[in-house]
Amino acid sequence: MRKCAGWAVCTVALIVLAGVLNPSRAHPALVVRVTPLALRQGEVAQVIVRAQVPLSTIQLSFRNRSWPLYRVQREWHTFLGTDPTSPSGRLPIVVEAFTIRGERIVVHRTLTVRKVSFPVRRLTFDPSKQPLLSPEVAELEQRRVREALRVLASEPLWTGPFLVPVQGEILSPYGVLNIYQGQVWGFHRGIDLAAQAGAPVRAGNHGIVRLAEALPLSGNAILLDHGLGIVTSYLHLSQINVSPGQRVKRGEIIGLVGSTGLATGPHLHWGMRVNGVHVNPLPWTR
């Protein structure tokens, strides 16, 4: 039998072997905390990874994709978003890291996602809005939004709970299945708040403006970057008061309510993205 070249190499071999034989074993060098351990579709879990040894690389996968890990002092933080398309049940979270000595560490966790029965909403738009319902328009708009959100703040900019941007009843909740002109359009990626045209719209929290322009479907739109992959959107505005790159404070008036884009009347659509997933913003206001 070949001997190990040295102590370090033997250790690496043993750690890798242990990982293969028992991948769910908690590794003392890497502590992974998931909060909460169970949630409903549309909600968000926070993952905090603390390493007891210096690492050269670390990555986290969940729902068949990798999630950005943000360095916060000696820890790595991320938020895992879920939406109405997330499968329900116990979903695996895998954290894989390499130490600076080349040791591979794998930690497995699970997040329990509970299914929600989201209602259906049927809307009929004025025939003049029909051209907006083409897939090309949606693709064009999504491309523009992706471009605006390409670089986001890697430190948390928000503090405390988010503010509901306008005072008004919820016309349409998060997650409802939208049927436009008799066709399935997709789930509602935020909440619609009732407000009069011209009512002030306030920033949900401190952040940096990443997009402030007219889009075909969202109308006059503002996207605020709150750091660590958290972005809020304010759509269908009659007026935009901010510009890209500008820093805004929680509660600051950033625009006015309107009905621009694909809207049947004045209201504010308020949405939240968490690392690209459209989640329910309301739990963040409590």
Residues that bind Zn ion (CB under 5 A): 192, 269
Name the residue nearer to Zn ion (CB basis): 41 or 78.
Answer: 41
CB of 172 to Zn ion, least distance (A): 6
Instruction: Name the minimum Å distance from CB 212 to Zn ion.
Output: 18
Nearest in space to 145 (alpha carbons), one of 56, 257, 231 = 231
Helix, strand, coil percentages, rounded to 5, for the chain: 15, 45, 40
The first and second tokens of residue 211, run together, are: 């997009």
Q: 226 or 269, CB closer to Zn ion?
A: 269
| Least gap, CB of 219 to Zn ion (angstroms) | 11
Q: How far is the CB of 56 from Zn ion (least distance, A)?
A: 44
Q: Considering the complex, state which of residue 192 and residue 225 has its C-beta at the smaller distance from Zn ion.
A: 192
Residue closest to Zn ion, measured at CB: 269
CB of 184 to Zn ion, least distance (A): 16
What's the CA gap between 251 and 168, in Å, rounded? 15
**Beta strand pairing status for 207-215 and 177-180?**
unpaired
Please state, as a whole number, how many other Cβ atoms lie within 10 Å of the Cβ of residue 73.
7
Nearest to 66 by CA among 57, 53, 55, 75: 57
For residue 285, the number of C-alpha atoms closer than 13 Å in the C-beta half-sphere is 17
Specify the residue, 269 or 273, whose C-beta has the smaller distance to Zn ion. Answer: 269
CA 212, CA 240: separation in Å to the nearest integer? 7
Nearer to Zn ion, 83 or 192 (CB): 192
